[in-house]
Structure 1
Amino acid sequence: MPTNPMHRSGPNRFRILGTLEFFDGQHWSAIGAPKQRALLAALLLSANQMVPADRLVAELWPNDVPDSAHGLLAGYVWRLRRALRNGDVLVTRAPGYRLNLPQGALDVHEYERLVAAGRASLAARDPAAATASFTAALALWRGAPLADVARTDVVMAEAARLDESRLAVLEARIGAEIELGRHEPLLPELKLMVSQYPLRERLHAHLMLTLYRCGQQAEALGAYHDLRRLLINELGIEPSKPLRELQQQILREDPQLLDATSGPRPDERPRVVISPRLLPPDPDAGFVVGGEAELSATAARLVGGGVCAVYGAAGTGKSTLARRAAHAVAERFPDGWLWLDLRASTTQPLSAREVSAEVLRAFGVSGDRAMVTAGGTVRWPDLTSGRRALAVLDDVADTDQVRPLLSPPPGCAVLLTGRGAIGALGSHRHVRLGRLSAAGSVLLLRRLLGDEQVDRDPAATSAVARLCEYLPLALQVAATRLVMRPEWTVTEFATRLADPRRRLDLLASGEQSVRESLLASVRLIERDHDTQARVAVHLLGALDLPVVDVHTVAALLGLSEHTAQPIAERLVDVGLIETISIDRYRVPDLVRLFARERHDAEVDAAAAVRRVIDHHVNLVHRQLAEPVAASLGWYRQELGTLRALVDRDDTDVLHKAVDQLRWTLSGTRARVA
């Protein structure tokens, strides 16, 4: 039997699977004051993370916030530190507080470790070990989770998740005991649980099989008909396919059902899946700006079922939008929520087979061969047929990585996020996420920094937003740096951020980094061994133009326009450059700064820039032969590029050509620079 480390001695252990209690090294104690209890619960649910004071205030006073809320909060924190008798466990971390919790110090950690061990034992076809692990996990429960804590939205969500997990583990433990042949002792418990949870199909499957193995065929069929009548009357649906198949096996007295030794193998057992609750927390709406139209569009598409994809450049907040949308529609999908990070932008993305394995594990059928194709991918329609489930697949590389999940059965929905659009979906199934507006960026900084900091120098705040290129990730990192360094002013930070040599260093804090986000895009290219796209990134940094067209990209790479355009589009797909029109692209400042850091000894950047200058000399000479009106329009559009390239041309050839064009155009009444 696995040991229970929650019973070991040691300071500052916590229990939430029941009333909230802490262990001070000698005794388990409760927190007497309701507000302090709520504070400790909020910190435990975000253990080892900085929790903003504003969020704690909203948690402690969900309705009417007193004017002195922050002062009261500070007092509660002080008293909680005294109660815990360990000043290192609860620390102040601007702009809030952090509860430092070692692994295993919370009963939920041990519970989840034991559950994982039990599921691993089931996958290894060791029901005895699985039963022991599941029993030990359930023994940690002392009642309803967080039973004595005020029922705020956060507490209710976590309590619901844990309750659902406990039921799933109970079902898994009973299933393992059935495999061990312990039929008759299970009957009283099963009948009680079915009466308490009449819509849980897996419990009914366990009851039917147990009754049949106890020689009660009529009662087993009666249990099925009771459930069918309830489902039709309450929900207007039939029992799931696995349950209907079990009923047919009982009707024909299938000998495989008779006992545990001659019964069905694990891959032939009735397939009754659990309902996972695996969404990350809903982002704090008070710190989210923009994307409301995209959020509404995404939620509407999910409610309608099928597949929807959110895509956009690095740092535009795709994962945040996906979390908001998933929580907005979660109630429409009562049979399960799955969030899976496919890690496309890391060095080790999940393969299609690994994605399928994670999905099967989440639904509790990881050992079920009937749910897997010959290629090792999940049979998604079979897994969720007759159910309403939502799967969010974050950071998707391409169609191949998720193809098995792109055809969910009616009633189910799949939400994808990625830097590029997923080609297998129709255009109406895509939602593109871009940068914030200038006003929206300042508003986000105001919410993150507070009115006083922003109002002290509005111009500097606008400058920070502009230097962050209105990119949500960059804005959040900038705000974090300012919050963590309260001695810095926005004015001083804006001055430093304006220095291109420092900008990417300043836009990094902890795990959040603009440089790392851009590097993730480069990894997508390198993983595909796309040498031309990799070289293009390096040369666009050396060229340092904010806007390029496909002709310029072709000259830069020394390729034909026909060859260069797919390379440019590949950079769009991975979120490094942005489309302006069919053959013009924006190269963000932050991307150019990043690209100039990436040295490639095999690439002659000077020669590439020279090709672009020569190309523009030819373009200027060509304009001298065009009608004045057409040349004037081209000149105005290309003026910024011409000025930048003239400064780079040490031969003065381009300068002379541009002067000649300006002299030609000066005879018009139009103003030319």
Structure 2
Amino acid sequence: MNLRFGLLGPVQLHRNGRPVPVGTPKQRALLTALLLEPNRVVSIDRLVTSVWDAEPPRFAVANVRTYVNRLRGTIGDGDRLTARQPGYVLAVRDGELDVTEFADALRQGRRSLSAGRPDAALRQVSAALTRWRGDPAEDVPRSAALGPRLDALVEQRCLALETLAEARLMLGEHADAVAELRETVAAHPTRERLWGALMLALYRTGDSAAALAAYGQARAFLAEELGVEPGPELAGLHRRILDRDPALRAAPEAPVRGPVPAVTAPGCLVGREPELKEIVAAIGACPPRHVAVHGPAGVGKSALARHAVHTAAPGFPGGVHHIDLRTLPRPGPYETLVRLLGRLGLADDEIAADLDEALHQLRTSTTARHALVLLDNVTGEEQVRPLVTGCPGCRFVVTSRRMLAALDDVEHLPLAPLADDAAYEMLARLCGRERVDPAQASRVARLCDNLPLALEIAGKRLAVRREWTAEAFADMLAADEHRLDLLTCGDLSVRAAVDLDYQALRRSGETADGGALALFHRLGERGLADCGPAAAASLLGCDRRTAAAALGRLADLRLMEPLAPGRYRMNGLTRLYAMEMAATT
């Protein structure tokens, strides 16, 4: 039986290519809640709050079970929707849900854009947007439980539209972009990045008056509807158009031969000056030292490393190259080396098929022209050891969650969450200093655990949702059940970042990892953040040595952090994730 589910518009179900009526609004709300978490257990409590926004009826749980039974009949495959404590799970296969197809295509498009391939990005993002048929689950009443998750889908759609506009501008398709963007800003008038793209496209077609008029329209709308002025990025673009800044003109695209510098510095780095200086000093020292940056999910390792190699770039005539191992189908040393040699200008058929010979090619290519390489999102020493130890003409900066202690001749740099003043400064830069009350910004930062990823998402959401005050957003974040939903913006997600470590633990077949996984679930069941060997032994029903090993493994994966001998703690966002996972097992 072939099934297709759709949430990017009215809720849809197709069976063997034919539409099937889903049923009443409450039954559609139930299906929506299950499809927003495909292949994961959704608790009955969460289903109840998804179906009834106000006080649920006395027999709400029984009604949910009735709706589930009806939905099983509607789907026509009883094995797809099954009961599993403490709720139900809907099995969805690859290619059956428009939300996942859209997210995958958008992710590919953004990667292509980051890699300097706007033509591929345009195709991929255009394909992603064809999945949309209207507002997400537009025929389902917005409950407090469903609203934030459906809003997150709208954010992803807007991100796709912004990515599409950026790709068109990079390709020089300014006239086409103008027509497209006029419709887009009419549909999403609070998205300042879309207004900025329209202004830039108009300016590059030679219509600077229309570009300035577009700014006036954006400013008038924001003032009338939200009571705010345009943010610093849009206002800065307006000033540059008034000044006829030559940098705003589209640069002619020239053919590229040989090595391609592949690293640009991300926009907002705050509170990392000591670490930045340490990395730059190490790779520029005599003799130079490789640097390995490690820290938990969302702490800003990649952003710091990119800034560091960008800063040090003038000292490396062989170029600066960024290899994200997470994007490689098989992220081993040879696959990483092939990607790097390609960046250095070798064609695929010129790269040796043997690891040792390919290393020789790398040494030959970088003997006279030293190169600086960022190896991002490494999971184990074996992935990068041959490169780091076998190529004297390269300097390496490595990022990883856990400390790669077995790597030799590497300077290890731990990265912690931001200090309070740096967290405030990051929020202020992202959403505008005039919108950030210090007391409420501190609340937002605490609820984000001062993690740069969470702060970036919070700042961008506040920048886009100009009608939200920092206090209102902090109040929303304070609700544990919604915080991880709110900390999602386009392809940025705290939940997804933590999930990488959790899935690595689940996939492992080692005995110690089984104990660590069980402990993670026990802590989540009880909502605990702090734990030591004695408490862990009690939770697992085992001896202290086994419990200490489980705690150590969670610390290795950065799902917990050691505070003192025999004492570990999860940050608040990881604790919420653990609670979600405990509810699904």
Residue 276 of structure 1 aligns with which residue? 260
For residue 277 of structure 1, report the CA deviation from its aligned partner.
1.3
2:212 aligned with 1:75, yes or no? yes
Q: CA, structure 1 residues 15+555, in 2 after alignment: closer, same or farther (shift >3 Å)?
A: closer
Query: How many pairs align?
Result: 377
Residue 418 of structure 1 aligns with which residue? 400
Residue 452 of structure 1 aligns with which residue? 434
Residue 300 of structure 1 aligns with which residue? 281
Residue 527 of structure 1 aligns with which residue? 507
Cα distance per residue 1:375-426 (max 9 Å; x no partner): 9877643442232101111100101111221125445201111101112335
Q: CA, structure 1 residues 167+486, in 2 after alignment: closer, same or farther (shift >3 Å)?
A: closer
Residue 133 of structure 2 aligns with which residue? none
Residue 543 of structure 2 aligns with which residue? 560
1:392 to 333, 356, 374: 374
SS in 1 for 2:449: coil
Question: 1:479, 1:50 → 2: CA distance?
Answer: 14
Residue 187 of structure 1 aligns with which residue? none
- Percent identical pairs in the alignment equals 33
Q: Is the 8 A contact 1:306 1:408 kept in 2?
A: no
For residue 541 of structure 1, report the CA deviation from its aligned partner.
1.4
Residue 335 of structure 1 aligns with which residue? 318
Which segments of 5 or more consecutive residues in structure 1 lack a partner in the other structure?
A: 6-11, 30-48, 59-70, 82-91, 98-148, 169-273, 603-673
Residue 540 of structure 1 aligns with which residue? 523
Residue 116 of structure 1 aligns with which residue? none
Question: 2:480, 2:388 → 1: CA distance?
Answer: 43
2:458 to 478, 481, 489: 478
Residue 669 of structure 1 aligns with which residue? none
SS in 1 for 2:574: helix
For residue 513 of structure 1, report the CA deviation from its aligned partner.
1.1
Question: 1:453, 1:436 → 2: CA distance?
Answer: 21
Q: Is the 8 A contact 1:357 1:378 kept in 2?
A: no
Instruction: Give the letter aligned to residue 373 of structure 1.
Output: L
Question: 1:155, 1:471 → 2: CA distance?
Answer: 36
- CA RMSD in angstroms comes to 4.0
Residue 121 of structure 1 aligns with which residue? none
1:291 to 249, 256, 272: 272
Q: Is the 8 A contact 2:298 2:454 kept in 1?
A: yes
Farther-moved stretch of structure 1 (312-321 vs 441-450): 441-450
SS in 1 for 2:582: coil
Residue 405 of structure 1 aligns with which residue? 387
Residue 564 of structure 2 aligns with which residue? 581
Q: Is the 8 A contact 2:310 2:320 kept in 1?
A: no
Question: 1:93, 1:550 → 2: CA distance?
Answer: 53
Question: 1:78, 1:589 → 2: CA distance?
Answer: 40
Q: Is the 8 A contact 1:536 1:557 kept in 2?
A: yes
Instruction: Give the letter aligned to residue 466 of structure 1.
Output: R
Q: CA, structure 1 residues 426+353, in 2 after alignment: closer, same or farther (shift >3 Å)?
A: closer
Q: CA, structure 1 residues 370+484, in 2 after alignment: closer, same or farther (shift >3 Å)?
A: closer
TM-score between the two structures when normalised by the length of structure 1 = 0.50
SS in 2 for 1:413: strand
Question: 1:483, 1:79 → 2: CA distance?
Answer: 19
For residue 465 of structure 1, report the CA deviation from its aligned partner.
1.2
- The equivalences for 1:289-368 within 5 A come to 289-304=270-285, 305-343=288-326, 350-365=331-346, 366-368=348-350
Q: Is the 8 A contact 1:275 1:335 kept in 2?
A: yes
Q: CA, structure 1 residues 527+342, in 2 after alignment: closer, same or farther (shift >3 Å)?
A: farther
Question: 1:410, 1:479 → 2: CA distance?
Answer: 41
Residue 532 of structure 2 aligns with which residue? 549
Question: 2:353, 2:365 → 1: CA distance?
Answer: 6
- The equivalences for 1:136-215 within 5 A come to 152=247, 166=255, 168=257
For residue 600 of structure 1, report the CA deviation from its aligned partner.
6.8
1:493 to 473, 491, 495: 473
Residue 555 of structure 2 aligns with which residue? 572
For residue 54 of structure 1, report the CA deviation from its aligned partner.
9.8
Q: Is the 8 A contact 1:371 1:379 kept in 2?
A: no
For residue 564 of structure 1, report the CA deviation from its aligned partner.
2.8
Which segments of 5 or more consecutive residues in structure 2 lack a partner in the other structure?
A: 1-118, 120-164, 179-190, 201-207, 219-228, 235-243
Question: 2:281, 2:504 → 1: CA distance?
Answer: 30
For residue 437 of structure 1, report the CA deviation from its aligned partner.
1.4
1:507 to 472, 482, 487: 487
For residue 598 of structure 1, report the CA deviation from its aligned partner.
0.9
Question: 1:72, 1:24 → 2: CA distance?
Answer: 18
Cα distance per residue 1:457-497 (max 9 Å; x no partner): x3222211111111111111112222222112211111121
Instruction: Give the letter aligned to residue 357 of structure 1.
Output: V
Q: Is the 8 A contact 2:333 2:387 kept in 1?
A: no
TM-score between the two structures when normalised by the length of structure 2 = 0.57
Q: CA, structure 1 residues 23+453, in 2 after alignment: closer, same or farther (shift >3 Å)?
A: closer
Question: 2:168, 2:495 → 1: CA distance?
Answer: 38
Residue 85 of structure 2 aligns with which residue? none
Question: 1:414, 1:451 → 2: CA distance?
Answer: 37
Q: CA, structure 1 residues 502+73, in 2 after alignment: closer, same or farther (shift >3 Å)?
A: farther
Question: 1:522, 1:567 → 2: CA distance?
Answer: 14
Larger radius of gyration: 1
SS in 1 for 2:310: helix
SS in 1 for 2:457: helix
Instruction: Give the letter aligned to residue 467 of structure 2.
Output: E
Residue 148 of structure 2 aligns with which residue? none
Q: Is the 8 A contact 1:314 1:575 kept in 2?
A: yes
SS in 2 for 1:343: helix
Question: 2:451, 2:521 → 1: CA distance?
Answer: 22
For residue 317 of structure 1, report the CA deviation from its aligned partner.
0.6
Residue 635 of structure 1 aligns with which residue? none
For residue 295 of structure 1, report the CA deviation from its aligned partner.
0.8
- The equivalences for 1:253-268 within 5 A come to none
Q: Is the 8 A contact 2:533 2:566 kept in 1?
A: yes
Question: 2:495, 2:430 → 1: CA distance?
Answer: 21
Q: CA, structure 1 residues 24+585, in 2 after alignment: closer, same or farther (shift >3 Å)?
A: closer
